[in-house]
Amino acid sequence: MSSPLDSLIEEVDEDLRRDKAVALFRRFGPYLIALALGVIIAVAGVMAWRQYKTERDMERATTYAAAIDAINRGDTEQASSLLGQVTGKGAASGYGALARLQDAALKARAGDSAGAATVYDGIAADTGVDPLFRDLAQVLSALTVFDTADPAQ
C-alpha cells in the first residue's frame, strides 16, 4: 500500500511535470505553430504550382494535337498558327520543341529550305531544349540544306 506521503509526492511530481509542459508550450508553442503553418502553406503552394503546370501542359498538348490534325487535313496555315501558339507558350518545353520541329518540317515541305534550316539551327542552339531534340534538329538541318549548302560547311 502506498502511504499518504507517497500519494502527495506523486501528485506534486505530476503538477511539476504539467507546469513544465505548460512552460515549454508557452516558450516554444508559437514557434511550433508557425512551423506547422509554414509547412502547410509550402505544401499548398507546391500543390498549386503542380496543378498550374499540369493545366498548362494539357493546354499545350491540346493545341499541339489540333495542329497535327490540321497538318493531316492539309491545312498548313492553321497548323502553322497553332504550332506558333504552342511555341509561344513554352519554346523549350517538350511540346514547344516538337512544335518547332513540326513548323520547320512544314517549311521544308513548302520548299523553304533556308527557313526550315534556320528553325532547326535555332532548336539545336537552344540549351533549354532536351539534348535529344537538339541533336535531331542538327541532323534535320544538315539534311534540309544538304543539296544547297556550301560543301565546306
Residue 141 Cα to chain centre, angstroms: 28
Assign 1 a pLDDT band (cuts: 50, 70, 90).
low
Q: Please give the model's pTM, rounded to 2 decimal places.
A: 0.68
Range with lowest mean pLDDT among 16-30, 49-63, 138-152: 138-152
Q: What's the Cα-to-Cα distance from 144 to each of 122, 127, 135, 153, rounded to whole Å?
A: 14, 22, 14, 13
pLDDT digits (tens, 9 = 90+) for 79-98: 989 998 888 766 667 888 89
| pLDDT tens, residue by residue, 60-71 | 899 999 999 999
